[in-house]
Amino acid sequence: MKLIECPRDAMQGFPHQVPTALKISYLQQLLAVGFDTLDFGSYVSPKAIPQLADTPQVLAALDMSATTTRLLAIVANVRGAEQALAQEKISFIGYPLSLSEIFQQRNTHKSIAEAFQDIARIQDLCYQQNKTLVTYLSMGFGNPYQEPWSTDIVLEFVQRLVTLNVSIISLSDTVGLAQLLDIQQLFTYLIPTFPQVEFGAHLHVQPRNWQAKVAAAVAGGCTRFDGALRGFGGCPLATDELTGNLATENLVAYFENNAVPLKINKQAFRSAWTLAETVFTS
C-alpha cells in the first residue's frame, strides 16, 4: 500500500502564508515518516499560488539523505515542468488534467486539448530526465458544472494517457461528489485493463463518508492513496466547508484495522501530526 502525503495540497488553499522556516521543518518531519511520496510544492506562478512561492528555497533546504520518500512537485505548464525537472531531488512531476473543460481553464488557463499537448511534451521531458509524470484526473468522479460525465469519459481520458505512456494516473474526487459504486467500478475495471499503469485515489471527503470511499477504492483494487495530515486543504471550489483532503491519520488507522501493512515510522508520524496543528494555525 502506497501512501502519498500532500502538504502542498493542504498549504495551497490555506488563507495564510506558512513561514518558510516552519514549512521546511514540517516537510523535513514528514520525510522522516516513510511515506512513499511527498507532494511538497509546486512550480507555478506565485500570482496563482502565493502560498507556494518559496518552493525553490524550501527544496534547497530539505535534507534527503536519510529518507526513502520521494518528492513530487505539481506543475501547470511546460515551463513549470522544466523548472521542476532541473531539480535533482524531485522524482515526480504532477500535472492536473481535468475531465471538466471549465475546471481545466480555471486551474491551468488551458483547454483540455491544450492540456493534452502539455502532457505529451512533459512526458517527453520526464523520459529524458529519468523522472516520472503523475497525471491527476481532476473531476474524475463528476463535477458541479453540469458538464457531461460518465465512466466512459474517464476511460477515454485514461486510454489517451496510456497512448502517451503515462504510467501513474490518480483519480481525483475534486469536490467530493464521488459515488461509492463509481469509485469501486472504475478501479475494478481500470486496474486489470491497464496493468502497465499505477492507479491512485485522491479523495476529497466529509467526516461522514471518508471510510466508505476508502473502502470502495480498496474493494476496486486501489493500492495508492493521497492524504493530508488532519485533513487540511481541499479544492477551494468546494461548496461545503467540510469537504477537504482525506486525513492521513484516518487512512493509517483504516489500514491498520484491516491488517494492511504500512512502512511508516510511528513516532515520526505522531510528531508530524502534532506539528501539523502548529503549521496550519500559524
Q: Residue 77 has which C-alpha cell?
A: 505548464
Question: Is there a contact between 139 and 100 (Cβ–Cβ < 8 Å)?
Answer: yes
The strand pairing partners of 168, in sequence order, are 134, 198
Per-residue model confidence (pLDDT) at position 13: 79
Per-residue model confidence (pLDDT) at position 243: 59
Q: What is the mean pLDDT of residues 138-150?
A: 92
Q: Which fold has domain 2-279?
A: TIM Barrel (3.20.20)
Per-residue model confidence (pLDDT) at position 282: 60
Sign of CA dihedral 14, 20, 25, 27: positive
Burial 122-153 (b: 16+ CB within 10 A, else e): bbebbeebebbbbbbbbbbbbbbeeeebeeee
Least confident of 5-19, 51-65, 99-113: 5-19
Burial class (CB in 10 A: 0-12, 13-18, 19+), 261: exposed
Q: Which of 224, 147, 145 is nearest to 190 (CA)?
A: 224
Does the pLDDT of residue 88 top 90, yes or no? Answer: yes
Q: What is the mean pLDDT of residues 82-94?
A: 98
Which residues are CB-neighbours of 122 under 8 A, at least 6 positions away? 75, 78, 81, 93, 95, 133
* Cα 65 from Cα 225, distance rounded (Å): 25
Per-residue model confidence (pLDDT) at position 85: 98
Q: Where are the domains of the chain?
A: 2-279
Burial class (CB in 10 A: 0-12, 13-18, 19+), 164: middle
Q: Model confidence at 207, in pLDDT bands (50, 70, 90)?
A: confident
- Is the whole model's pTM more than 0.75, yes or no? yes
Per-residue model confidence (pLDDT) at position 143: 87
